[in-house]
Every structure is written in C-alpha cells, then in structure tokens.
Structure 1
Amino acid sequence: MGGGPAIAAPTAGYAHLIQDTRPWYKNPRIIVLNLWICSLLITSSTNGYDGSMMNGLQSVDAWENEFNHPANGKLGLFNAIQNIGSLCAYPISPYVTDGLGRRTAIFIGAAIMVIATILQTISNSFGLFIGARFMIGFGLTFAAAAAPLLVTEIAFPTQRAQATSMYNTLWYLGSIIAAWTTFGTFRIPSNWAWRIPSALQGLPSVVQIFAIWFVPESPRWLISKGRETEALNTLAYYHAEGNREDPLVQYEFEEIKAAIALDREVAANVGWSALFATPGNRRRMRIIIALAFFSQWSGNGLVSYYLNKVFIAIGITDHDTQLLINGLLNIFNFIIAIIAGFLCERVGRRRLFMTSTIGMLIFWTLQTVCVAVYAHDNSNKAAAHTVVGMIFLFYGFYDVRIEQYTVEILPYSLRAKGFTVFNFSISLSLIFNQYVNPIALSHLAWKYYIVYCVWIAFEAVFCYFFIIETKNLSLEETAALFDGEEKLHAITEQAAAHIEGAHHAEKDSLNASLEKHDGGIQVA
C-alpha cells in the first residue's frame, strides 16, 4: 500500500518482532494482500464518483433538459436523496457487519448498488431517478460501513496507517473518473451524455461482487466468533508467509484476543449505549461526531456538489471551462491526498489535522474576500481568477486531514457501531448541506462564505484541544489509548506474557530432550 521503507519500519510495541526486513514489494504475500485491500478501497471511489458526477451533470444540457432544470429544493433533493437512503440503512448495517462478517456486508452493499445503478441509468422520470439514487445510498452504507474496517483489520501492521488513509484518497479517484467522463460525454447530443456516466458508477461494485470472496476475512471478526484457528492462519499466511510461530503473528494474535476479552469483560452485551457509557468512549464519540461534521461543513460542500453555482457567481459560465476546472481540481486533490496518506505515520495525525484546519481557514477567508470583490465589481476578472486559485489551495489543505482516524480510535467491540455513527453524522451533515447550500447561495451570495470562515476557525480550536496523537501505535494500542494507560498496559502485557510463556515452555521441552540425550546440556 505504498512505497518507501521496508516492512520492518519502526512501530511501537512490535517493531522488534518483525523478522522479514525485505521491502514490501519483494514479499509476494504482502503484494497479494495489498491487491485485496485495493479491491476494498474502491468502495470509497463509488462515493467520490457520485458527488463529482452530480456536480458534472449540472453542466450537461441533456440532463438538465431531461429533468426540467432542477433548482433550489428540487436540486437539493437530487443530491441529498442518496444520503437519505444511507440513513435508512444505518440502523441495520452494524449488525450485518458484526453478525455476518465484513465480506458479506460488502457483497450485500455491492449487489444493491449494481441493481440501483442500472435503474438510475435507464431512468426517464424524476421519480425513478430519485428512487434509484435512494437505493445507491442504501447499498453504499453496507459496503462503506464494512470496507474501511476490513482494510484496517487485515493490513500489515506497519502499513495500516497508509492503507486506511488511502480509503479517503480513493474517493478522489472516483471523483476524477466522474469529472473527466462528464467532460467527455456532455457533447453527445442525446441522453447518453448523462447515461454513460451514470452506468459507470456501478463498475466498482461489479468488481467487488466477484473479488470480495478472495479477500481474507478480518482476523478480529473471526476471533470474536470463536474461529481462532482461521484467524491465526490468516495472520500467518499474509503477515509471515504461512509461519504460525512467527513472533509478529503470535503477538498480533494474542493482542487481538486480549483486547477482545477485555472489551467483553467491560460489556458482555455491547449495545448502542456502550458508545457513551465510559469516559473513554465519550471522548471517542466527541471526536468522531465532530470530525464527521467537519468533513462536510468546512466549505467543501459548496465545491463538491455546487461548483457550477460557484463558477456562475464569479462569471465563469462556459460549460467546457467549468468541467475542465472540475476535472483538474480532482486530479490535484488525488495527488495531495496520496502524499498526505503516506505522511501520516511520519508526521502524525494531530499535526496533519492542525495544518489542515489552519490552511483551510486562511485560504477560505481569502476566497471569501475575492468573491466579495467580484460581487461588487463584475469587471474585476483578476478577482474571479483568484477565486479559482484559492479553491485549489483550500482543497490542498482539506485533503491533508486523515478521516480514517475515527476507525483507529475505536475498540473492536464498538468499531462497527462507532463507525456507523460517524457515517450517520456525515449523512446528516450532507443532507443539510445539499438542501441549504443552493438556497443560501441564492439568497446570501458571497456573505454565505463568512459562515464557513467562522466554522473553520472553530474546527481549528477543537482539533487543538481534542485530537490525540496515535502515531506508531498498533490498532489495539490506539483504541486502548482513550481508556487510560491501565488498559493499554493490560493488553500489551497479556500478549507479551503469553508469548513469553510459550517461549519458556518451548525452552523447557528442548532442555528435557537435551538432558535425555546429551547428559544435561542446558539452553539459556
């Protein structure tokens, strides 16, 4: 999941246990594992594709004519209906993810999205189009709730942070494909100008339907279901070329068992109330809910879904130019997000969050000033062009934040439910954005930008006081960090003690054998 250092890059707790010092690209099992992880990451590209497609379709005359030039509340419903579908699936998805397994949840979601995409593509009425987008959101919830969990639970320990951060990055890959597809098809003088982009939205789900059963199931899920042998075999196959006695594999295995056992002692029957039952969980949920709203209420909602409205407000009305800038912006975002993903372990999550929020505040403020200048003087083309530059710079800092931090800080027993709350909060914020943004822009014009200036300043203050650094910790250590050092030590000590006990048992057995055959030779 990324170039650079060997697999044995320094990581707290278990770095000394990693015996294979080859670069990851020289280890066939790690290569295969990363290919399976890539098939999970494309779940995010489906979501990114949708936002960019809906943005692009608003610049496609055939789509506008087909659906009678939707505006204000009707346009908001076109965009928001997918998230309304997501909301309806959230109460169910964690039970599918935890009960049937990560892979089954992804398969169910992908199957629903393929059917929904077909309906969306053949739509010839407002009702059918809206219904299909509702189904896409409903199916996406199952896949998007399970895929990031499976990524973080099967990734090689020293590549986990990069792998989870790539989930966000692949959002932009879908966005790029949608942006350039609409740029290429909008000239087609028929409804295929929008039907082709719509049909391509289902491609990642088709890939997942066929590939998901080759992806290893989560060892954590297997252990939670009492299938410890399967979990150990999975860890050994992908993390140690099949060696079940490898020190790293044994440590991972015992640490996962210890973490799940301790979680069960705290809450034998984990319900939704457990998310807020302890001080540690309340700290987690405060961060998770805040980051969900920050991810959509940082001003990016204007650009993600209503970029053409922003362009019109600064005098850029040519469809060619609008779609071209949209395509270039998504490529820029993709590059920055990749760089940020590979820096997360080196720089640290907290520093990236602070860099992101401060940078966004600076360039959103400058963007607001330029939009206001153009609003007062429509002949000031320099101000309009500067707005475009500020959008790129704003997004450059937005891309730096690591949203999958929310997966890392949750213990296994709460991971599916906690991540569901995160996605639920994102959907709520998106629905609000998608309804409010077009209406607010039409009534407040450039003054609406000031609201986001104040909000981003609040984000910076929140991140300064509440984001905890998790750099170079294992998944279990990161989750335990919020519960205090006692739990963190309990998990690591139990895992280390079990391995040490196994080592002593092996040594005693060897000594007994040597005494029998060689007259008392001892192994130290």
Structure 2
Amino acid sequence: MIYALNISLGYMITEWIGLGLFFVKGNASWRILFGLQLVPTAIMLIPSFWMPFSPRWLIMKDRQDEARIVLEKLHSHMKDDETFHQREFNQIQAQIHLDNEEGRGFKDLFLTPSYRKRVFLVVFACVSGQMTGIIPLQNYQVFIYQICGFGGLMSLILTAVWGTTTCLAVLFMSPWIDRIGRRKSVFLAYGFIIPGSLIIIVTWARFDASDRTNLGVAKAIIFGMFFMLWGYAGILNTFVPCYSSEIMPTCVRAAGVACGYAAFNIIVILLVQVTPLALENVSWRYFLAFLIWDFIAVVVYYFFYPETKNATLEEIEAIFGDRVAVSLDDACSSHSAVHEKVNVEQVEKTLA
C-alpha cells in the first residue's frame, strides 16, 4: 500500500506542478519540473541509511542476532504472543537451511514445477494490471479530454484531479487486501474495472455516433475513466507488488519478481507506442481488447491464485506444495527449527 501510495503521490504532485507550470512561459517551466526531481531523490536517499535489512537476508548472511532484533521490532505490537518473533525466526532459519541444502537458484525458476507456476502467476498479474487499459488512460488522458471537447487548461486540471483521486483510492481501498484477503480484493477491483470499461466503451461509441458533438455523453466517458481508476489504483496497484513478492521463495524472490516487472515494462512500452495510433484509427474499439482481457483475468485469478492472507512466507511455500522445514507452531526452538523436517501435508494441516 505504501508503495502504491508513493507512486500515486508522485503522479499527483507532478500533475499539480505541471498545471502550475502551465502559466510559466519559456524554458523555465520544463527546467523547474526536471530540477524538482532531485527533491524526492534526496528524500529517499537520506532515510535509507536507517532502513532495516530484511531478516531473511540477515539470516542468509549468518547475522542471526541482527535478524532477531529486526523481527522483534516488526512484531512488537503482538503483546498477546510475545514468542511469535522467536518462532518465526526459527522457521526462517530452518527454511533457509533447507533451501541451502537443496541448492536452489535462478535456473530453478524454470526447472521446478511449483516455481514455474509462481513465475506464471507473477507475470500474469503484472501483465493483467496493465491490460486493464490504465496506461492509455493515464498517459494519454489529456488527449482523451481534448477529444471530449475540453480545452488545454481544463484538461490539465482534470489530469491533476485524476492524480488526487488515485491517492484517495489507495487510502480507502488498499486496506481491504489485508481485511478480506488477496483473492476477494482482486474481484472487488474488477468490480470497478469491468463496469468502468463498459461505460467508457458504450459512451465513447455513442459520442462518435453523434460526430463528437454530444458533450453530455463525453462527460460519461470521463466518469467511466474515474470509476475504473478506483479498482486499479485502489487495489491492483497494491496487490501486484504484494502478491508477487510474497509467493516467491526467498532464494529466488528477486529473480521471480524481476520476471514480472520485465513483462510489466514490455507491456507498458507496447501500449505507450500503439495507443495514439489506436485512438486515431479505431477509437473506442481499442478498449474492447482490454475488456476481453479483464474477463480472462478474472477467470485465471479465480482458478489459479491461492489465498495467502495471514500466512508467513514459509507457510506460503506449503500452499504451493513445496517442502517446508518446520511449521510455525513447531518452531519452538532453534534446534528443532534447523533439524526437524515436516512434510507438506502436516504444514497444510497446521495452516488449516
């Protein structure tokens, strides 16, 4: 959620600054805009020196004491279970020990069936997020507003309102991912995205049929854009990085998530290139492709994406059928965590 909110804040701030710089004449407008990029860079750099390391990474580097301290801080709110951080530490330690014994690496992303499945889920989620049509709407919304009959200044104002709405959507919608679970949140997201897409397609078709003179219908196009935004910005923009990182095993997490974002960027580049041509030549029909993909995505999410709410990263290994060193409940001591091996059925029973 914080990741999605920061992206949304970046869009919103940039769009409002862009609106303000509309009134600045000459080269100063774009130079100020580019120069302001140094500010968030510095804000990110300075606090990074105090950012804690991942406890799993610390354990992989034999820095167990530091890992235990980080876990204790992370779970300091769990006053009713003060041993949780120790049990999780034991479980992480045992799982890393098991992964090291099995010698997992990048090649296993494609050689191990459960890893291949997870890479597919990551890539599909990243691609499906962009195939909602959010990139054409986000990147070319000024062009769309002008098609709908709005002038340059009003188009910039609507763009800034879009960025603000994105932030509000994240704040109001993203918490549901932890409240109702990952799967239900995705279906909630498409409960906004699919109707929003239908509104865009139907009203745009009517707008074109009126020779683009019916400005009342044009406003309905914009309503559909903003309605759809609540589903994507509010949930999918949080779901994708969350789910992608938590279903990948520690030993290949970086590589697995990277595969997803490689596909993500390929789709973004493709859509950025073709959207101007598509809007000019096929108009509203362009968005039919996104609507069809949305229906396919809902089916795939329903049948292939397991729920991971409230499961530790090690327990998620069991959900995908991988061997887990020790269940969380059995991780009572570092000795049992390192040496006891529990089969997948036992772990799944514990999760149930």
* TM-score normalised to structure 1 length: 0.60
Alpha carbons 1:270, 1:413 under 8 Å: kept = yes
Task: Tell me the equivalent position of 1:248.
Answer: 84
SS in 2 for 1:217: coil
Provide the rounded CA distance (Å) in 1 between the counterparts of 2:74 and 2:228: 39
- Superposed, which structure 2 residues align to 1:360-509 within 5 Å? 360-377=193-210, 378-398=212-232, 399-401=234-236, 402-403=239-240, 404-484=242-322, 487-488=323-324, 490-492=326-328, 495-496=331-332, 498=334
- Tell me the equivalent position of 1:180: 16
Q: Aligned pair 1:359/2:192, yes or no? A: yes
CA contact (8 A) 1:302 1:310 kept: no
After TM superposition, the structure 1 = structure 2 runs for residues 40-439 of structure 1, keeping only pairs within 5 Å, are: 165-237=1-73, 239-240=75-76, 247-266=83-102, 268-271=103-106, 273-316=107-150, 318-377=151-210, 378-398=212-232, 399-401=234-236, 402-403=239-240, 404-439=242-277
Native 8 Å contact 2:119 2:256 kept in 1: yes
Q: How many residue pairs end up in the alignment?
A: 330
Amino acid at match of 1:393: F
Q: CA deviation at 1:397?
A: 1.5
Give aligned-pair identity as a percent. 26
Amino acid at match of 1:400: I
Kindly indicate whether the alpha-carbon contact (under 8 Å) linking 2:177 and 2:235 is maintained by their aligned counterparts in 1. no
CA distance in 2 between counterparts of 1:265 and 1:357 reads 42
Conserved? CA contact 1:251–1:496, under 8 Å: yes
Q: CA offsets per residue over residues 385-428 of structure 1, 9 Å max, x none?
A: 11111111011122222112111111111111111111111111
Checking the alignment, whether the CA contact within 8 Å between 2:91 and 2:325 is kept in structure 1 is no
Alignment partner of 1:496: what SS?
Answer: coil
The unaligned stretches of length 5 or more in structure 2 are 338-352
The residue type paired with residue 109 of structure 2 is: L
Deviations 1:10-30, CA, capped at 9 Å, x for gaps: xxxxxxxxxxxxxxxxxxxxx
In 2, the alpha carbon distance for the partners of 1:462 and 1:498 equals 40
| Max Rg structure | 1
Q: Give the structure, 1 or 2, with the largest relative contact order (CA under 8 Å, sep 6 or more).
A: 2
- Structure 2 length as normaliser, TM-score? 0.87
In 2 relative to 1, CA 315–216 (structure 1 residues): closer, same or farther, beyond 3 Å?
Answer: same
Give the partner amino acid of 2:129: S
Contact 2:95–2:325 (Cα < 8 Å) also in 1: no
- CA RMSD in angstroms comes to 2.3
8 Å CA contact retained: 2:88, 2:328: no
